[in-house]
Structure 1
Amino acid sequence: MKRRSLPLQALRAFEAAGRLGRMTAAAEELCVTHGAVSRQVQHLEDVLGLALFSGPRTRPHLTEAGRALLPALTSALDQIESAIQAVTRAEDDVLDVSCLSTLLMRWLIPRLHRFHGLYPGVDLRLRALDQQEDTRNGRFDVAIMVDETSRLISTRQKADILFPEWLGPVATPELSSRHLVAPGDLPADRQLQTKTRPNAWAMWSTAAGFTLAPPSGAVFEHYYYTLEAATAGLGYCIAPWHLVMSEIQSGTLMAPFGFAESGYSYLVKRRSPSNAKIDRFCAWLASEVAAMPLPEPCFAPVDATES
């Protein structure tokens, strides 16, 4: 089939219907009638000589051919949309930045006044990025995310490494001064937990070379709440250094046993193709990271066999 003879409207109608699961939903998205979507899908089936849907008209199901075609078609339309956005917005002053929510609130936003001071004409539009959200559709200029695989995936995802993650237990000065000689002195019922990162204590103890009993402290819905609870003196929290370094430097929180690298890395993914405003923002991010102090290394326990 020649490229110019591709039934683009029919392909678009099928993609919407297959992705949404209903002709009516596809019609609403495309701002056409249910009958128009049905006719376009029928036209595509006639052109291909294949049935793409089966079952009743009210609840059609993709056939094997439909299931094979849909993912590639969705990906192609996403790429077209991204390319159009890149062309139409290449010269404007709007920069869409997606960022993990706690990182956005506790690391990025407190620094943005410096970026605005350097580039007052750039209008930053911030969006909290869910940890599991797929960024392949490219509906952003810059996305700041975390590599949770303990492997460097920057080449595969076309992303730059921003900084490695350091983890350590933090608490108020009052709690930190309660005769904590070794990590085993941390009471399990005061070890705060987070639903979005239930393995934080185990990750830190493994990275630091300690063995800890499973935590049994209060469980919070989001990391941001857990950090707030630790700041309020409710217990000890395993925290990434970049989220608490200001509080530690000011003395609001203390890290009695230092920090250890978790193996995770924070990444910056750029929209493709890049442009001048994206390059400026990423260069500014790199300068902010370069100015960050390193944390105190992890507490080293005294070997009991030493005399």
Structure 2
Amino acid sequence: MGRKKGRDISGWLVVDKPAGITSTAVVAKVRWALDARKAGHAGTLDPDATGVLAVALGEATKTVSSITDALKCYDFTVTWGAETTTDDASGEVLRRSDARPTRDQVLVALPGFTGEIMQVPPAYSAVKVEGDRAYDLAREGETPELAARPLWVESLTLLDADADSARFEMVCGKGGYVRAIARDLGRQLGCLGHVAHLRRSWSGPFDADDGVAFDRIDREAQDWLQARLLPLEVALQDMSMLRATPEGARRIRNGNPGEVTGSAEWGELVWVADARGPVCIGRYQGGTVQPERVFNLQAAIDHG
């Protein structure tokens, strides 16, 4: 088989995703514009949502899980009075209510949605049910039975409210569905609700204000886009960084434990660098690191 077409280019491109396009389509556009051999993203955004979509290129795809696990911030508006099939404004209305919550009632409900909570994902979600995506089953008219899953909600803040809607900011861990928060808040308040607007303000180290507008991706020169790539190690800011000795780096690049300077907790997940750049992500084992993901150095430094 021939090699995949494209350049060995590595790094992160932060895109400010517009409404009306899928996360997959954004990744495809970035990959095409930069002629990159490999690309992925850290955390899907709903088609109607806007904001941070961090696109990983080349060796940066090996750091995606670090961003997936990071905290994320969402700014969203809930419209009261109706529950929909998709838990947002794109779905069909299932039930309506004339009830409306007061600002104080909303504030009283919020503590129940912070900390470690259990959340049932929306029927229209990418969660797999016996091998099928829930949204595929839902589109076929089935009602997938989705199990509740734990979600860490760092904070849920009421930003503004009027008679028919409320605007919130939520900071949460991985696997959270803002649409499920809107649905469950509406049910608890007895007024029903769905998401009207949703924006991811930041995700780990990536901020929407620093993102490239989607419509610039195919308008700008390739050099302009490449200059906006962030190095792959940006995704590793929450990990300890250790230095490999020259011989340690050689061993690690061959998939073996290698000697490092500095220290960490035994078994801690760390990242290792040498004078030429990132070497691996691995487990510290008292003076050495056992690599779990080794970076191909040429691809890793090609963004520069």
Could you state the TM-score of these two structures normalised by the residue count of structure 1? 0.22
Larger Rg: 1
- Higher RCO, 1 vs 2 (CA within 8 Å, ≥6 residues apart): 2
The structure where strand makes up a greater share of residues is: 2
**Higher helix content, 1 or 2:** 1
With normalisation by structure 2, the TM-score equals: 0.23
